């Protein structure tokens, strides 16, 4: 019995030793697998970190690209949402410059149109009146050109005699009442009497008030400094005893 028991103990010991060896082997395999797994995890972690950098940079680039595209596509919204961004501010300043240029062009175009309208209204021609080449401005319709020239000649001759100092002769072109002013106070009729340096720069055609009263406006230069008019004479002409006579002359600076 003792022998049998001892043999069983020996077999049990061998079995335990064998099992212990297998457990040790499994433990070593498990350790190796654990180390391998840890190495793989560390490698993947580094790989994810390395890949994260370009992905993050690409994401930032995409965001900025989308922002720039949004600014260019919707500058009005961008100006309200983010007015201090340099790109937005630059676009806003550029848009304002464009608006200013457009406004200036529109103003200039309006001025050109107004000037064209004024030129169209004031038709100018060079006309010979009393041996003088004078620019005539048509301010009102006048179908009687013969009468128009007659009255224009009357005022030009009157001014010539006044600048020559021939007040008595100039008074013959006037009504009796106005003739007294011409003789006694010629300075009230023209600005510089007794001066021959007079240039007729412009005359209007005759404006008919009624059958017995007419108006003519004559611009003069008597300073000799520029060819622009120094002042204007406003003539009032009446018909009396079938003759045209100057009844009044007003001075406009």
Q: Is 220 exposed, middle or buried (0-12, 13-18, 19+ CB in 10 A)?
A: buried
* Separation between Cα atoms, residue 136 and residue 156, nearest integer Å: 13
Q: According to the model, what pLDDT value does residue 8 have?
A: 55
Give pTM, 2 decimals.
Answer: 0.53
Overall residue count recorded for the chain in this entry:
253
Q: According to the model, what pLDDT value does residue 121 have?
A: 57
Inter-residue contact 206 to 217 (CB < 8 Å): no
* Separation between Cα atoms, residue 191 and residue 229, nearest integer Å: 13
Q: According to the model, what pLDDT value does residue 47 have?
A: 54
What are phi and psi for residue 131, nearest 5 degrees? 65, 15
Pick from 194, 199, 197, 203: which is nearest to 162 by CA?
A: 194
Pick from 239, 241, 238, 240: which is nearest to 249 by CA?
A: 238
- CATH for the 123-252 domain, from 3.40.50, 3.30.450, 3.10.450, 3.40.1130: 3.10.450
Inter-residue contact 75 to 92 (CB < 8 Å): yes
Q: According to the model, what pLDDT value does residue 52 have?
A: 46
Q: Is 16 exposed, middle or buried (0-12, 13-18, 19+ CB in 10 A)?
A: exposed
Side-chain-side CA neighbours of 245 within 13 Å: the count stands at 14
CA 14 distance to own-chain centroid: 109
Inter-residue contact 157 to 132 (CB < 8 Å): no
Q: According to the model, what pLDDT value does residue 70 have?
A: 53
Q: According to the model, what pLDDT value does residue 78 have?
A: 53
The residue ranges of every structural domain in the chain are 74-121, 123-252
pLDDT per residue as tens digits for the range 5-19: 555 556 655 655 555
Q: What is the 3-state secondary structure (H, E, C) of the chain?
A: CHHHHHHHHHHHHHHHHHHHHHHHHHHHHHHHHHHHHHHHHHHHHHHHHHHHHHHHHHHHHHHHHHHHHHHHHCHHHHHHHCCCCHHHHHHHHHHHHHHHHHHHHHHHHHHHHHHHHHHHHCEEEEEEECCEEEEEEECCCCCCHHHHHHHHHHHHHHHHHHHHCCHHHHHCCECHHHHHHHHHCHHHCCCCCCCCCCEEEEEECCEEEECCEEEEEEEEECCCCCCCCCEEEEEEEEEECCEEEEEEEEEEC
Which stretches of the chain drop beneath a pLDDT of 50?
A: 2, 49-50, 52-53, 60-61, 63-64, 71-73
pLDDT per residue as tens digits for the range 81-112: 556 666 556 666 777 777 788 888 888 788 77
């Amino acid at each position: 019995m003792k022998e049998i028991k001892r043999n069983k103990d020996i077999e049990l010991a061998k079995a335990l030793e064998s099992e212990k060896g297998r457990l040790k082997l499994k433990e070593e395999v498990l350790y190796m697998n654990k180390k391998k797994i840890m190495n793989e995890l560390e490698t993947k972690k580094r790989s994810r970190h390395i890949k994260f950098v370009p992905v993050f940079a690409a994401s930032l680039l995409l965001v900025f690209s989308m922002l720039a595209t949004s600014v260019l596509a919707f500058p009005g919204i961008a100006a309200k949402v983010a007015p201090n961004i340099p790109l937005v501010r630059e676009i806003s300043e550029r848009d304002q410059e464009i608006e200013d240029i457009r406004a200036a062009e529109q103003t200039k175009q309006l001025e050109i149109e107004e000037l064209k309208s004024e030129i169209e209204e004031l038709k100018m021609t060079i006309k010979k009146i009393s041996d003088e080449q004078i620019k005539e401005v048509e301010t009102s319709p006048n179908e009687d050109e013969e009468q128009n020239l007659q009255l224009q000649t009357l005022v030009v001759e009157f001014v010539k005699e006044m600048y020559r100092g021939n007040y008595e002769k100039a008074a013959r072109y006037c009504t009796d009442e106005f003739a007294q002013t011409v003789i006694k106070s010629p300075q009230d009729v023209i600005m510089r009497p007794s001066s021959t340096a007079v240039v007729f720069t412009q005359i209007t055609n005759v404006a008919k008030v009624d059958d017995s009263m007419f108006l003519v406006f004559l611009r003069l230069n008597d300073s000799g400094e520029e060819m622009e008019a120094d002042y204007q004479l406003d003539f009032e002409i009446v018909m009396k005893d079938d003759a045209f006579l100057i009844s009044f002359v007003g001075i406009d600076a």
